[in-house]
Structure 1
């Protein structure tokens, strides 16, 4: 790279983009890398504050910012995503399918700790749709030594830093609604329609529905029946608090479900239950949903459901670490998942 005066630059080729910012109008490259400067360009460049420009003077020891960004891109990119063309030294990755976005945070942080490296991503485990921008990456200087980027490769390791877990197709979801008052028709079941709407957002429908009273054995039998029917996900509503007649957790356990957690440091959603059952080589996700799922816009269920659809097993330790960011701010207009709740 060689610095020369702009007034002497006619006929020279730019080795970097030059950005023009007009507040409220545009922020884009006015001149692209590789542009050959003509007489008419000189006053424009001067108006952009460019009294000097840089032209390419390669010696083989450095990478241009676009080339360095592509090194970072290669460390991040995985299946189900594509890269944009470099623009002003930055490359972005875009989702090719709907799914759950995940980051190897420890390794990505190790890369960002290296001077001049920048990789910015969406939050961990965020549900994304096809076309969503996932991450952007660039280096700070216009040119950087090749040996620096080799160091970055060693720190990052051989596996991609990012991934999308695509949503599984044709899942069968079963619902068990508990409560003597609903079973006997004293009140209307208003919980199941909420679940149907949340599932519909992912292209799913309720495949089977069972209604039981508060007798533990009856709820257990309904869960076992849905397991035998080949459900992939089973959602149990009602009876999830600590009241003596709230017996759904006991019924789930009695049905042979391995309980990951009953309770979570998330509000709303503290009485949430998550477990798994093995049936014919399949792992069935079983959830006990507290009443808040019925009337709160965003709860722990909204955090867990996308990952269950993607087939991502969740550990007790992970859920016990949901506390930071686990308090919903109850905004007047809910923007979940574009917020800090449970991310």
Structure 2
């Protein structure tokens, strides 16, 4: 149980919550942690932090302290690829044990955040994260929570995991080998330098994907078809083509993909830059056609789609249609 006590009368009592001090542009953090036994010398420091009253903690059979509940619930929503650190100022910090792609069960998190006693905030799903990086923060909004409510929340989390798996997870790319095909008569002939290969390889390297085949072909349906099929035969688990996506008569990338047996899910994607791109499959191998304009931007449709395809997601047309909401990518 938490009790509100005047600072001067708190000597010898246990703090029920971290005491935060804020110095604008200099410092924000706890000056005393939960569990600290207040001493006479602490009173002046507490008052300098703006505290006339503080919360002190007494054992209570009906309630759990914020810190304990936050840590336990945070642990219940994560996979073995994540861990919980803290608490600090009531927050449990969820971190990645390894680099990978963050997967967020958005519906489950929305349901959890409907509880007025809970705040769960995460990085965006499909984010590429590093080992030790904070990917989410969780806290109980009050300094204590009723045990019956705490148990009900845990039961709901368990049901969600049984039906849909972990609420937060880190996945490694399933695709480890890629083929990169640059199309364009002007590049094939040497009139224009190939800038696309380096850019695509750089982005794939972020996911530890090896480019096992890289070639430049003219704007020819047959050349494009043969390059795609050779990539797959060589072991590519994803094939990325650049250029030739427009309506011009010599833009033949889409025709080459079809000739190779590609099932085109969508031509023209509501994600910008690189809107005039293609998502297709040949069997279980994703074949992407990326508009050449991606070269000039920090973030494009290629950045958006890669993590999804690399973990083996089967993208549906209805899902693609929804990407238009927030599909204008930030270039900062």
Q: Same fold per TM (> 0.5)? A: yes
Partner in structure 1 of residue 297 of structure 2: 296
Distance in 2, matches of 1:275 and 1:328, equals 22
Shift of 1:240: 1.0
Q: Is the 8 A contact 1:263 1:271 kept in 2?
A: yes
Count of aligned pairs between the two proteins: 326
Query: Residue 7 and residue 265 in structure 1: after superposition, are their counterparts in 2 closer, same or farther (change >3 A)?
Result: same
Shift of 1:258: 2.5
Partner in structure 1 of residue 257 of structure 2: 252
Partner in structure 1 of residue 112 of structure 2: 111
Q: Which runs of 5+ in 2 are unaligned?
A: none
Partner in structure 2 of residue 341 of structure 1: none
Shift of 1:168: 4.5
Shift of 1:158: 4.1
Distance in 2, matches of 1:127 and 1:318, equals 20
Partner in structure 2 of residue 268 of structure 1: 273
Partner in structure 2 of residue 43 of structure 1: 44
Distance in 2, matches of 1:8 and 1:187, equals 79
Shift of 1:91: 0.4
Structural mapping, 1:159-238, within 5 Å: 159=161, 160-168=166-174, 171-238=176-243
Distance in 2, matches of 1:289 and 1:313, equals 18
CA RMSD of aligned residues (A): 2.0
Distance in 2, matches of 1:14 and 1:191, equals 59
Partner in structure 1 of residue 137 of structure 2: 136
Partner in structure 2 of residue 338 of structure 1: none
Q: Is the 8 A contact 1:167 1:309 kept in 2?
A: yes
Shift of 1:62: 0.5
Q: Is the 8 A contact 2:71 2:84 kept in 1?
A: no
Shift of 1:308: 2.9
Q: Is the 8 A contact 1:191 1:237 kept in 2?
A: yes
Partner in structure 1 of residue 57 of structure 2: 56
1:103-124 deviation per Cα after TM superposition (whole angstroms, max 9, x unaligned):
1111111111111210011112
Say which is worse superposed, 285-294 or 67-76, in terms of deviation: 67-76
Query: Residue 46 and residue 186 in structure 1: after superposition, are their counterparts in 2 closer, same or farther (change >3 A)?
Result: closer
Give the structure-1-normalised TM-score: 0.88
Distance in 1, matches of 2:199 and 2:5, equals 65
Shift of 1:93: 0.6
1:206-256 deviation per Cα after TM superposition (whole angstroms, max 9, x unaligned):
311233322212211221111111111111122111222212112112212
Shift of 1:205: 4.2
Q: Is the 8 A contact 2:75 2:83 kept in 1?
A: no
Partner in structure 2 of residue 74 of structure 1: 75
Distance in 1, matches of 2:61 and 2:317, equals 51
Partner in structure 2 of residue 146 of structure 1: 147
